[in-house]
Structure 1
Amino acid sequence: MARKHMLFGDKNEEYKIWKKHSPFLYDLVLTHALEWPSLTVPWRPDVSRPEGKDYALHWLLLGTHTSDEQNHLVVARVQIPNNYQFDSLKSGSEKGELGGFGSVTGKVEMEIKINHEGEVNRARYMPQNRRIVATKTPSADVLVFDCTKHPSKPDPSGECNPELRLRGHQKEGYGLSWNSNLSGHLLSASDDHTVCLWDVNAGPKEDKIVDAKAIFPGHSAVVEDVAWHLLHESLFGSVADDQKLMIWDTRSNATSKLSHSVDAHTAEVNCLSFNPYSEFILATGSADKMVALWDLRNLKLKLHSFESHKDEIFQVYWSPHNETILASSGTDRRLNVWDLSKIGEEQSAEDADGPPELLFIHGGHTAKISDFSWNPNEPWVICSVSEDNIMQIWQMAENIYSDEEPDITAAELEAQGM
């Protein structure tokens, strides 16, 4: 089975096919059933490698989306084996324990649960201080927590006690971005058509409340996402249901501070991501099923459109380890990994089951993917969560991204029914 080929049809049948072929497509797959769906799943930037152990400890940030029960911001600890040598697929139990390949033992433990007001629309770590987390709520407020100031088990009363409450929006939203160059500067996107900026280091005026340092009007519809440029402390981008990509400069003397506005897609624009290795390159994802590639030096011209998704795209993120690699996901239950360096390459008939730049399709989810993130400490490892409570931690087989053919015999293929 070609690594990019994934039929769209009955999702349970698709899953059976995916599961059968997984040993040939992945070096790692760990599956965990969460108690509640999570709309957010960023990795924490640190890793611990205990001496004498055959695993490393990683941390994830999760947020519950319950059915009218108490919601929590959750810090989960994940045990990932150092060497993945898998030969056969093993299913996780119904109790939410990890399932993986062969003799893999992985553990997910909910280390800290913090009471939260309503579901967690999005949660993000401050890059300069992993203890500090910002969250988007069903209200207009953005909350900031210091995870070290909360007990591992939440107060039974359900009371939510954030360290800061950020005011400025009139409605809820999803977009949230910490500035990696200016500590404490946080952007938020909202259904109220605006982007807000806070400096959480400025401290609250009273009652833990911090008012927005600046509010950026410009979009004429719901602002879906916002992101700081990773190499310039004053530049950020926003995308919205008005189909526009806007680039802003906080240094500008003009009131609006809007530098560029582009008609980016033919439908709502849901997400954007700046390339961590390039001053100029960014990507956007849209309800038009396309991922678009842009160059800040000439936004009138779209560099490239990535086509393969069958439905709305809600997430797009560049790899932190490879300049030409990005991934996208959304409503079609697929997470696509793309390689810019392969755009325009000639393909054999066998490989032509998608554009040459489509490196891999992760087809392990049977519901809409809510979020995913690249592990900053383990190249090619991704964690993805879907609306049916399933969290998967996975890494595609090395032969796929290194362009080598696997050593699989015809007999092995026949045994798998391929």
Structure 2
Amino acid sequence: MSARDTPNSSRSGGHARVEVEEDEDRRRPDASLAGVPWDESEQEDEHKVINEEYKVWKKNTPFLYDTLVMHALDWPSLTCQWIIELPSLGAVKSSKQALYSQIKTMRKEVSNSSGPYGHYAEIRAELRAHGSREARIRITQKINHWHEVNRARYMPQNPDVIATQTTMGDIYVFDRTKHSNHPDADGECRPDVVLRGQTRESYGMSWNSLKKGSLVSASYDTAVYEWLDLQQYSKMSGNIESVRKYQAHTEQVEDVSWNQHNDHVFPSVGDDKMLYVWDTRSPTKPIQDTVAHDQDVNATLALRDLRNIKANLHSFEGHRGSVMLAGWSPSYETVFASVGDDGRVNIWDAARIGEGQTPDDAEDGPPELVFVHGGHKSKIFDFGWMVLVPWGTGMILLAGE
């Protein structure tokens, strides 16, 4: 992505974090069927707007991206993540019955031709050939999985170990090196370990990047659960009970994330609008708390400092609906992405807060909004930054587009 200049800083430590607000319309493929149905004419108008926006986006893709690869899945998917697997990059994706581990083989080195816009011809050629062998996604492994995969995340210290959130509350852990590249013909799901403790399903889940084998999960049963030493697992272990249960939320917990600089600290957010910060050394109550947002849906993100999380340092405004996810770039310390149910992935740079703008620029959004990835015809449920490609991301959509 190259809508504006790329920051020249590298990813480093810091105190700031971003939390997002959620809505009650969950990330199920059939979630839109819940509640009061739209008026038919209103729905038709909405579809017309979406289709028109898609046409505009598609026409301008050569000017927006260095590389664009699209892949249609057989089933709707709720999760994706890039795996660091040199020399290739991988993506973990889920379908209704299987966990996909897919290797992305994509040719990308667009050289600048003569003139400031000469290289667009080469980009257009690559976009037209996005289905060719040089630029495509291919499935390299399928593993059977019971029901839907709400979320899939690999262990940072060992990307072959993948944890999946299920619709039943249990968390499955797979070591993909111990499974065939083709799913078992009997259709049975055979996780290497089952993590017990949650009584309801969940989406939020985070591996500890500083402590191998430590995992926390945000559950719809209003609690956060922790498991330790999962690197010691074996199939003989069978089920592993959680070692700690963190209880403070009064409604379902939506997300949780380990601190990248302190292996004892993690925040959690829930539908009770609360943001809690926990320390594993004193698990009976959170060490900090604040009301993160005052409304269920306000289409904004809040920037806070962990030294005083009650103060909202800045509100990022740019989405037209609920904000579902946010994630810091692994390459630039001030850059993060947010995903909304408006079908947008917004790229933000906190270093540009307060920069001057011309009236024309201001019409496109605040200075910290550096790129808007559109073109989606349905809600986005997950995204992931590419670690080895600074501005590369991957998205999974409701319709598996």
TM bucket normalised to smaller: 0.7 to 0.9
Match of 1:242 in 2: 272
Does the CA contact (< 8 Å) of 1:133 and 1:145 recur in 2? yes
- State the alpha-carbon separation in 1 of the partners of residues 195 and 241 from structure 2: 6
Q: TM-score, normalised by structure 2?
A: 0.82
Using the TM superposition, give the Cα deviation of residue 267 of structure 1 relative to its aligned residue in structure 2, in angstroms. Answer: 3.3
- State the alpha-carbon separation in 2 of the partners of residues 150 and 205 from structure 1: 12
Match of 1:332 in 2: 342
Using the TM superposition, give the Cα deviation of residue 380 of structure 1 relative to its aligned residue in structure 2, in angstroms. Answer: 0.4
Give a deviation string over 1:174-220, Cα, whole Å, max 9, x none: 01100001100001111100000001245479760000010111100
Does the CA contact (< 8 Å) of 1:177 and 1:188 recur in 2? yes
Match of 1:389 in 2: 400
Instruction: Return the letter of the residue paired with 2:193.
Output: L
Using the TM superposition, give the Cα deviation of residue 110 of structure 1 relative to its aligned residue in structure 2, in angstroms. Answer: 0.7
- State the alpha-carbon separation in 1 of the partners of residues 368 and 149 from structure 2: 34
Match of 1:121 in 2: 150
Q: 1:319 to 1:104 in 2, by over 3 A?
A: farther
Does the CA contact (< 8 Å) of 1:375 and 1:381 recur in 2? yes
Does the CA contact (< 8 Å) of 1:251 and 1:257 recur in 2? no
Does the CA contact (< 8 Å) of 1:333 and 1:363 recur in 2? yes
- State the alpha-carbon separation in 1 of the partners of residues 166 and 190 from structure 2: 13
Match of 1:54 in 2: none
- State the alpha-carbon separation in 1 of the partners of residues 327 and 338 from structure 2: 7
Q: Secondary structure at the match of 2:261?
A: coil
Match of 2:54 in 1: 15
Using the TM superposition, give the Cα deviation of residue 345 of structure 1 relative to its aligned residue in structure 2, in angstroms. Answer: 0.9
Find the partner of 1:193 among 222, 232, 244. Answer: 222
- State the alpha-carbon separation in 2 of the partners of residues 60 and 198 from structure 1: 24
Find the partner of 1:359 among 351, 370, 385. Answer: 370
- State the alpha-carbon separation in 2 of the partners of residues 77 and 363 from structure 1: 24
Match of 1:258 in 2: 286
Does the CA contact (< 8 Å) of 1:167 and 1:209 recur in 2? yes
Structure 1 residue 157 corresponds to structure 2 residue 157: no
Does the CA contact (< 8 Å) of 2:143 and 2:183 recur in 1? yes
Structure 1 residue 299 corresponds to structure 2 residue 309: yes
Does the CA contact (< 8 Å) of 1:46 and 1:377 recur in 2? no
- State the alpha-carbon separation in 1 of the partners of residues 344 and 98 from structure 2: 27
Give the alignment of 1:68-217 within 5 angstroms: 71-84=97-110, 86-87=120-121, 89=124, 99=130, 105-199=134-228, 200-201=230-231, 203=233, 208-217=238-247
Does the CA contact (< 8 Å) of 2:338 and 2:347 recur in 1? yes
Give the alignment of 1:20-31 within 5 angstroms: 20-31=59-70
Instruction: Return the letter of the residue paired with 1:247.
Output: V
- State the alpha-carbon separation in 2 of the partners of residues 247 and 75 from structure 1: 33
- State the alpha-carbon separation in 2 of the partners of residues 369 and 384 from structure 1: 7
Does the CA contact (< 8 Å) of 1:81 and 1:104 recur in 2? no
Q: 1:356 to 1:8 in 2, by over 3 A?
A: farther
**CA RMSD between the two structures:** 2.3
Does the CA contact (< 8 Å) of 1:19 and 1:89 recur in 2? no
Q: 1:44 to 1:339 in 2, by over 3 A?
A: same
Structure 1 residue 321 corresponds to structure 2 residue 331: yes
Match of 2:91 in 1: 60
- State the alpha-carbon separation in 2 of the partners of residues 190 and 203 from structure 1: 23
Q: 1:60 to 1:79 in 2, by over 3 A?
A: same
Instruction: Return the letter of the residue paired with 1:319.
Output: S
Using the TM superposition, give the Cα deviation of residue 9 of structure 1 relative to its aligned residue in structure 2, in angstroms. Answer: 6.4
- State the alpha-carbon separation in 1 of the partners of residues 267 and 255 from structure 2: 8
Instruction: Return the letter of the residue paired with 2:400.
Output: N
Does the CA contact (< 8 Å) of 1:334 and 1:365 recur in 2? yes
* Mean CA deviation greater in 38-47 or 356-365: 38-47
Structure 2 unpaired stretches of 5+: 5-45, 111-118
Using the TM superposition, give the Cα deviation of residue 258 of structure 1 relative to its aligned residue in structure 2, in angstroms. Answer: 1.1
Q: TM-score, normalised by structure 1?
A: 0.79
Using the TM superposition, give the Cα deviation of residue 364 of structure 1 relative to its aligned residue in structure 2, in angstroms. Answer: 2.1
Using the TM superposition, give the Cα deviation of residue 82 of structure 1 relative to its aligned residue in structure 2, in angstroms. Answer: 3.4
Match of 2:42 in 1: none
Structure 1 unpaired stretches of 5+: 49-56, 269-286, 391-418
Find the partner of 1:45 among 57, 68, 84. Answer: 84
- State the alpha-carbon separation in 2 of the partners of residues 205 and 385 from structure 1: 31
Match of 1:404 in 2: none
Q: Secondary structure at the match of 1:44?
A: strand
- State the alpha-carbon separation in 1 of the partners of residues 253 and 329 from structure 2: 24
- State the alpha-carbon separation in 2 of the partners of residues 92 and 81 from structure 1: 11
Q: 1:386 to 1:90 in 2, by over 3 A?
A: farther
Q: Secondary structure at the match of 1:351?
A: helix
Does the CA contact (< 8 Å) of 1:136 and 1:174 recur in 2? yes
